[in-house]
Structure 1
């Protein structure tokens, strides 16, 4: 039987007095790679933050590995949106990745040579070993994103949440990131990714969660990512760009 790594029941969230998520229900099994897809303002980033306790929930319950976030947090990795990070903070790429190990090291202890080696190995996996001692402010957007992904990888989590890791990166970085995410899935890890490019959903994800303030549909991509469900998700925010592709799906931009 496949292990349930995440269960979300009746989740709701708001900003000020405006409800942005309501009646959220879904269960995620181990070893899946899920794209979280929906129009701007659909609550995709808020969903991840609320699941992780970074934004308060109005109601609902979230379980990780049939337990609480507090008990499971060492099994959870998170890559926030690049725009939410202070990249001017004076630190090196290697230090940023090493911070991902502080749950193991302890906040008031210095990282050992072993921990530094693990961080360096994670940078190497993302093709960033040559930039280990570079200040993060001196890196390009794609390089910064690779560093933050390396920080998540070094945690060796069981489930990863990534908020638009492919936004604003070059084609080479996008390929490198997706190769790593598919490696994680092959290793039995679970990955949930906020994603904006509908044309790559079928190629990148085996599961998709269609969201517009509530879950429109969640399941295997082949079953869920249909023209009808996309229309339900995007409503009047869809712009049809030319003819449908061979799968009968439109080319859509938000």
Structure 2
């Protein structure tokens, strides 16, 4: 893949001396919208954090646009899991979004009127302009997620990482988030999403990466989103029953 925007080679990582990722190698095409899927404990969030220098890697190498993360990070946006954020921190929604511009403003400088206007426009894009002055602790989970997505959008990055942005949100917020991700995709941005709902992978993503401590398969969704890859990733037999993927226990020996 000669025009890859991300190249991961032989990555491994551990928690408390237990290896959680091993022999991870893959490349990501520019302009793709990729779901990272796998069972609980498969290392999905750890993979994302390790790629972004938020967790140490044991072995391997990751490059973006042919550069190491530290030289490419201004072109990368990140939305962490909502549960990992201290939502009691005393700040309002507009300030949270404005923080996304600090890479351009500089941490010791005050945001200008123009910067706050950009932040407000990002909030407006996510339907959150009426909550600009609301403390983030007073927002619902779905509203908090929209604010965090607005913070990523205001960075105007070329590449976005999103760790379970659809977890625990209402249907309207899920539609709003996916509409935004598809808009980013359509203008050539590259997006990687840790995703937990197998039922929506085909509808939402053009690429999928199956992960269970190592990569099971990675490629175009319409080519590799198969029951065989799902079963290999999640263990046992996974079948679509009543519109939902479920484990099927075999009674035969």
User: Structure 1 length as normaliser, TM-score?
Assistant: 0.94
Identify the residue that residue 252 of structure 1 maps to in structure 2: 246
Cα distance in 1 between the residues matched to 2:79 and 2:199: 23
2:174 corresponds in structure 1 to 174
1:242 corresponds to:
241
Q: Find the counterpart in structure 1 of residue 195 from structure 2.
A: 195
How far the C-alpha of 1:242 sits from its partner, in A, is 2.6
**Aligned mates of 1:92, 1:178 — CA distance in 2:** 24
Distance 1:166 1:70 in 2: 28
Separation in structure 2 between the aligned mates of residue 141 and residue 80 of structure 1, nearest angstrom: 13
**Matched residues in 1 for 2:99 and 2:178: separation?**
23
Instruction: Give the structure 2 partner of residue 20 of structure 1.
Output: 20
Distance 2:90 2:156 in 1: 26
Q: Deviations over 1:125-149 (max 9, x none)?
A: 0000000000000000000000000
Q: Partner of 1:200: helix, strand, or coil?
A: helix
Distance 1:253 1:193, change over 3 A: farther
Q: Is the Cα–Cα contact under 8 Å of residues 241 and 253 in structure 1 kept in the other structure?
A: no
Cα root mean square deviation, aligned: 1.6
Assess if the C-alpha contact under 8 Å between 1:2 and 1:29 holds in 2.
no
CA distance in 1, matches of 2:52, 2:213: 17
Secondary structure in 2 aligned to 1:50? Answer: helix
Moved segments of 4+, more than 2 Å? 238-243, 250-254
Quick check: 1:6 aligned with 2:17? no
In structure 1, the gaps of 5 or more residues are: none
Q: How does 1:207-218 map to 2 (within 5 A)?
A: 207-218=207-218
TM-score (norm 2): 0.95
Deviates more, 1:3-12 or 1:144-153: 3-12
> How far is the alpha carbon of 1:251 from its aligned partner?
2.2
Describe the SS at the equivalent of 1:251: strand
- CA–CA distance in 1 between the matches of 2:191 and 2:214? 20
Take 2:122 and 2:40, find their aligned partners in 1: how far apart are those partners? 32
Q: How many residues align?
A: 248
| CA offset digits 1:6-43 (Å, max 9, x no partner) | 00000000001100000001000110000000000000
User: Partners of 1:225 and 1:146 in 2: how far apart?
Assistant: 28
